[in-house]
């Protein structure tokens, strides 16, 4: 099952790379797919917060894949699947309720 973990970790690494890219972006970093970022009053702060969110998401995503290193029929894979669902919901809530409200132009 280590091949499964390699694929899982690769996806998490992509999220970390997106976070690093957002940290150094000159234009406002987007969060939602195919949606333009609204007016931002502090682009640097917004990009830093969004980049850190993506980086943390990727790191936690990789950690949630650890059950893939165990035997094939482990029930702990359900923790990975459910954990990613809750992690994604938490990331969306943090972006919508914290980052957007803090950096949106009024």
Note whether 12 and 21 are within 8 A (CB): no
Residue 97: pLDDT band with limits 50, 70, 90: very high
pLDDT more than 70, % of the chain? 97
Res 71 pLDDT > 80: no
């Amino acid at each position: 099952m280590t091949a499964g973990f390699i694929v899982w970790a690769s996806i998490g690494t992509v999220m970390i790379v997106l976070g690093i890219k957002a940290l150094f972006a000159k234009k406002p970093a987007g969060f939602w797919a195919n949606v333009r970022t609204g007016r931002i009053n502090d682009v640097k702060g917004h990009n830093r917060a969004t980049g850190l969110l993506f980086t943390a998401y990727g790191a936690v995503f990789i950690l949630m894949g650890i059950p893939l290193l165990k035997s094939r029929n482990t029930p702990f894979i359900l923790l990975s699947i459910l954990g990613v669902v809750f992690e994604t919901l938490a990331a969306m809530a943090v972006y919508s309720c914290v980052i957007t409200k803090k950096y949106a132009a009024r």
